[in-house]
């Protein structure tokens, strides 16, 4: 997909990868409808984008789990920019590092609502508009945990694997249309998703130490990789060496890969 002069909706634009996607897409000539639940951080993104882009970015404070509000969003975007050419379903949360046996249904429902139903609501709502465009694109952010089991993130993984299969199925359904679909599998990326998800501060410190040791990818590099995949109309994009490596490892030896991940994550569940 050619990015220049396209209108793209980015969820989770208030921080992390979503913020970097906004910056880089604007620099490539896109118009951005920036969506986030947190109005303060969303406004920071717009301010940091700079005066040169103020007429090409609009702010939309929205929780993607509220279907009725999501269904009103296309009208707002069209009013601001005149058209809609793409959506990037980036917003997401992880679960506390807790085994399923100890998770509350309230937490389970919240994770599934944000990570699976949110992208579904966005996709269903915007697809009729995208089908009318000469060229359009849907990008859904899954996770390395969407194809590889991670103890303590089983519900998050279930939601993200749902995003994976939904996206791949949608890509097949739209194969003869003007709408392309990309599903993205980030590995370790330096974002504040853990803080935004309400994870215990001690667990965050432990994960930060692990990311430092494994040299987690920057949000800037992650966004760059995602946009390149979008421009090339790739169905699957693996972000980071860890994601690429574990995808191959899991395909070759799923049992061995599962044991290695379980061993690495065990300290977070003790």
List active site positions: 156
CA distance 53 to 43: 13
CA distance 32 to 46: 10
**Strands annotated E in the chain:** 7-11, 31-36, 57-61, 86-89, 136-141, 179-186, 236-239
Q: In angstroms, how far is the first alpha carbon of the chain from the final one?
A: 46
Edge-to-edge strand ranges of the sheet holding 7-11: 57-61, 31-36, 7-11, 86-89, 136-141, 179-186, 236-239
Phi, psi of 200 (to 5 degrees): -55, 130
Angle between helices 254-269 and 201-214 (to 10 degrees): 140
């Amino acid at each position: 997909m050619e990015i220049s002069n396209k209108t793209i909706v980015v969820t989770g634009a208030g921080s992390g990868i979503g913020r970097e996607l906004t910056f880089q897409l604007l620099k490539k000539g896109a118009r951005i409808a920036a969506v986030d639940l947190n109005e303060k951080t969303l406004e920071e993104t717009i301010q940091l984008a700079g005066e040169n882009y103020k007429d090409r970015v609009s702010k939309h404070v929205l929780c993607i789990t509220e279907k009725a509000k999501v269904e009103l969003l296309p009208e707002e975007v069209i009013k601001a920019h005149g058209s809609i050419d793409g959506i990037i379903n980036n917003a997401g949360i992880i679960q506390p590092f807790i085994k399923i046996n100890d998770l509350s249904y309230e937490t389970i429902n919240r994770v599934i609502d944000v990570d699976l139903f949110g992208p579904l609501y966005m996709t269903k709502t915007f697809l009729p508009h995208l089908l009318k465009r000469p060229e359009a694109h849907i990008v859904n952010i899954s996770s390395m945990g969407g194809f590889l089991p991670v103890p303590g993130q089983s519900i998050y993984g279930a939601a993200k694997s749902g995003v994976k299969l939904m996206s791949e199925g949608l890509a097949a359904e739209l194969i003869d249309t003007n709408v392309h679909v990309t599903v993205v599998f980030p590995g370790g990326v330096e974002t504040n998703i853990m803080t935004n998800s309400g994870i215990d501060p001690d667990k965050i410190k432990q994960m930060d130490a692990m990311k430092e040791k494994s040299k987690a990818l920057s949000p800037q590099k992650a966004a760059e990789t995602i946009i390149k995949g979008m421009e090339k109309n790739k169905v699957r994009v693996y972000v980071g060496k860890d994601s690429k490596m574990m995808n191959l490892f899991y395909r070759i030896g799923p049992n061995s890969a599962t044991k290695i991940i379980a061993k690495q994550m065990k300290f977070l569940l003790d």
